[in-house]
Amino acid sequence: MSGGFTSMPSYQVRQYKLEDVAPGMEVGTIISECGKTVLCEGTVLTDNLIAILQNWGITEVPVKEKVINPDETERKKNWIQQQFFSEYEDTVMAIQHCFEQVRFFREVPIMEMQELVEKTVNPLIDTVGVINHLHLVRRWNEYTFHHSVDVGIIAGVLGKWMGYRGVELKDLILSGLLHDIGKTRIPLEILDKPGRLSDQEMTIMKQHAAYGYEMVKDAPQLPMSVRCGILQHHERMDGSGYPHQLCGEQIHHFARIIAVVDIYDAMTSDRVYHEKDNPFTVVEMISNQVFGQLDPFVCTTFLNNVRDYFVGNVVLLSDGRQAEVVYMGPFRASRPVVKTEDGQFMDLEKYKDIAIIKLVTT
């Protein structure tokens, strides 16, 4: 999908005082007073490296800044995004059609879904910037259809980070697309309720995992892994999930992957009673709060890789300014280094009173 755009970015070098540099800046070659090379061209600064420069008595730092041709950059980004949005919308319509068929005829069109994975969703997961595009997608339809497509795509992306390939990867994507298929048996007044569910309604809603499994359990062409993803995606590693309160290794690895993706997508999507959280905060909440309930390997793989997508995002800060994320430090995802619209580099770990309010563009 990214074919046809191969031009390399060009750079200009600007001298910064050492006290003005920040992690994330890319430097030119830095040579000490005694002629020794301290840092090579292209090195990206970290807190440690800045401390090393201080120790060497370096006072001026050459910083490489990308010279951006706005027309070219915009054209490239628009082209990739439009392609993605168009295929994403087709996929949402296909999922809606599938859910309607299941609701009326009680049969999952498995062959159609496998073809959808093969021809559309599997290629989509390789789109440059895929996770970012999902944050900007226009939600024109019911939450469940978008959520199913999102979970299928993100499960595929995460599966690839974890080393899944070929048939197994396609099965994982299929399991993600179908994970909530049991919701077709939940009454619409509960499924589409514009508010929080009562305890009784929640009990009914929770049956969707078992319902989904019942619908596909006798389908000979569907591997057990796909069925387990559907049945167990609300099970939790500490036994606190449903429907069977399974623990740790009892939970299939497809279900452990879908669990993480399901939470991430639900929290970063707008719903009737829940305005979406920004992905920086969600990543931090996943790493802080639910580690005991989710598979640690799945979680770390997801969190470590998804953070890379955030560099280059434009965010709105609580002081009203917009800023570009230039560096994600090793700690809190909601406190990256940003460059404000008026050119100030700010390490949000140090500016505690300023927070990211929302994502503006990617």
For Fe ion, the binding residues (CB under 5 A) are 180
Comparison of 135 and 179: residue with beta carbon closer to Fe ion:
179
Compare residues 26 and 180 and give the one whose CB is closer to Fe ion: 180
- Rounded CA separation 324/303 (Å): 20
Q: Which is nearer to Fe ion, 180 or 235 (CB)?
A: 180
Q: How far is the CB of 230 from Fe ion (least distance, A)?
A: 9
Residue 302: closest CA among 334, 337, 262, 270? 262
CB of 175 to Fe ion, least distance (A): 12
Residue 137: CB minimum distance to Fe ion, A:
20
Contact status, residue 88 vs residue 121, Cβ threshold 8 Å: no
- Pick 139 or 206: Cβ nearer Fe ion: 206
Closest to Fe ion by CB, 171 or 180: 180
**Longest C-alpha distance within the chain, in Å?**
80
- 44, two tokens: 């990206």
Shortest CB 179 distance to Fe ion, Å? 6
Q: Which CB sits closer to Fe ion, 151 or 315?
A: 151
Q: How far is the CB of 208 from Fe ion (least distance, A)?
A: 6
Q: Which is nearer to Fe ion, 170 or 208 (CB)?
A: 208
- Tell me how far, at minimum, the Cβ of 234 lies from Fe ion, in Å: 6
Nearer to Fe ion, 150 or 180 (CB): 180
CB of 205 to Fe ion, least distance (A): 9
SS (H, E, C) the chain: CCCCCCCCCEEEEEEEEHHHCCCCCEECCEECCCCCEEECCCCECCHHHHHHHHHCCCCEEEEEEEECCHHHHHHHHHHHHHHHHHHHHHHHHHHHHHHHHHHHHCCCCHHHHHHHHHHHHHHHCCCCCHHHHHHHCCCCCCHHHHHHHHHHHHHHHHHHHCCCCHHHHHHHHHHHHHCCHHHHHCCHHHHCCCCCCCHHHHHHHCCHHHHHHHHHCCCCCCCHHHHHHHHHCCCCCCCCCCCCCCCHHHCCHHHHHHHHHHHHHHHCCCECCECCCCHHHHHHHHHHHCCCCCCHHHHHHHHHHHHHHHCCCEEEECCCCEEEEEECCCCCCCCCEEEECCCCEEECCCCCCCCEEEEEEC
The token pair at 102 is 């299941």
Q: How far is the CB of 162 from Fe ion (least distance, A)?
A: 21
Residues 269 and 147: beta-carbon distance below 8 Å: yes
First vs last C-alpha separation in the chain: 18
Least separation in angstroms between CB 266 and Fe ion:
9
Shortest Cβ 319–Fe ion spacing (Å): 38
Nearer to Fe ion, 124 or 186 (CB): 186
24 versus 241: smaller Cβ distance to Fe ion: 241
